[in-house]
A and B are shown apart, each in its own frame.
Chain A
Amino acid sequence: MSLDDQDLSSLIRHHATRHAAPDALRAGIHAQITLAEAGRSAVPLPAEAPRRRWFDFGWRTASVSFALGLACAFVVLPVLQHIDFNEPVDADLVADHVRALQVGPVTEVVSTDRHTVKPWFQGRLDYAPPVFDLAADGFPLMGGRVEHVRGNVVATLAYARNRHVIDVFVWPSAAQQAPVRSVRKGFNVVHWADGSMQYWAVSDLERIEMERFTQLWLDRVAAQ
């Protein structure tokens, strides 16, 4: 049987698999855009000002300003209050994670024992981050360190998974946030908050492994 270009085209068009975007992907993009939009509105891009032309001013400017004001009041402000400028933070955290792996130290206190790591934070922080031992589930604790993120002193726990390192950044937050995953420079970042602390787990691990780690963490918190 011989196939010309037309036959081949119609074979592919009729029979090859078309992959539809999964719902989880759509949801992830929506969540990330909400975060990004909040970050963007908080810090206007300098490039936007010169792009305006003189004829943009006038009644349109007034209505646009009014609409922006409304958007700020109803959308951006509540979001900002809940997420504390999250969008730029995850970039900072990925940078911290990379720097720790490149020049160290990944751990300032080296211990697989949470009863050593947790007290080590006392005197260095004005809060007590939860520390869990997840070795039985394949994520052994390596230790902890303190990072400075935008003026906050942030507890950082390092967990190992095979040859990968997961950094969990922990600091207080009154917000509640179900886990949201984002990808930054190829690193997976999972963020969640449980009403007392906010957590940011950063690693080059695959998504499934990160989801497992997050679930283990949530289970431990729930069991407390």
Chain B
Amino acid sequence: MSQRQVFEARVLPHLDAAYNLARWLLRNEQSAEDAVQEASMRAFRYIDSLRGDDARPWLLGIVRNTCFTMLERQRNGPELVEFDDAEFEAAVGAVEHSPSDPAVHLQRQRTRVQIDAAIRALSPRLREVIVLREFEDLEYAQIAKIVAVPIGTVMSRLARAREKLRGVLSQTSLGE
């Protein structure tokens, strides 16, 4: 197989996962597209280093590093706070419900907005472990490799992230 065929057969099927990660990390459509395009080109260039590994965590690792480089360049994230309450309040408060929506749909939509807002409000380091674990269903060891920290750190970050999410979601009207 040519390098292009390898890339198309093994890497491109994970483009949605790559974009989802970038979109969550950068919280912006355009930056996410830029990051994934840049990361894809890097992946294509270094496709030989993939060998027999699972392509999804490999690609997600490249996307993750590209995103953090961009975040550092922008220096716009409040890195110091693990959960940005103002961001969460603003996102949840901004939702206007359209009166024509049926109640069930409305409730689902409200739940979605609250969960999305809660994840968005996490600091990037907590957000990435949540996305990799809950969206991508990766194992602790895979996440540790992508984030380049020990497994114990992944677990403690996940615990802190869940604690923050639990704290803010328990207060809302979820599931009632």
A residues neighboring B (CB under 8 Å): 1-3, 5, 8-9, 11-13, 15-22, 24-26, 28-29, 32-33, 36-37, 40, 71, 182-183, 186, 188, 206-208
Contacts and interface: CB of A to CB of B under 8 A. Distances in A.
Nearest to B2: A71
Contact of B30 (A5, A8, A20, A207): A207
A9 B78 CA distance: 25
A207 B115 contact: no
Given A11-B115, A15-B112, A22-B33, A3 B170 contact: yes
A15 B37 CA distance: 27
Nearest to A37: B4
Nearest to A188: B34
A12 B2 CA distance: 39
B44 A33 contact: yes
Given A11-B169, A16-B115, A36-B41, A25 B33 contact: yes
B104 to A, nearest CB: 13
Q: Which 3 A-B pairs have the closest CB atoms?
A: A21-B19, A19-B23, A12-B134
A157 B7 CA distance: 37
Question: Interface residue tally of chain B, by bracket?
Answer: 35 or more
B31 to A, nearest CB: 9
Contacts of B174: 1, 11
Given A1-B174, A12-B115, A206-B30, A21 B36 contact: yes
Contacts of A207: 30, 33-34
Contacts of B73: 186
Contacts of A26: 12, 15
A15 B115 contact: yes
Interface string B102-124: 00000010011001100100000
Contacts of A18: 16, 20, 135
Interface string B57-90: 0000000000000100100000000000000000
B96 interface: no
A209 to B, nearest CB: 10
B129 interface: no
Interface in B22-36: 23-24, 29-30, 32-34, 36
Contacts of A208: 30
Given A12-B130, A15-B108, 17 more contacts: A1-B170, A1-B175, A12-B135, A18-B16, A19-B16, A21-B19, A25-B15, A25-B33, A26-B12, A26-B15, A29-B40, A33-B4, A36-B41, A37-B4, A182-B41, A183-B34, A208-B30
A24 B34 CA distance: 11
Contacts of B24: 19
Given A16-B134, A24-B33, A3 B20 contact: no
Contacts of A16: 112, 115-116, 119, 134-135
B162 interface: yes
A79 B127 CA distance: 42
Contacts of A20: 16, 19-20
Contacts of A33: 4, 7, 40-41, 44
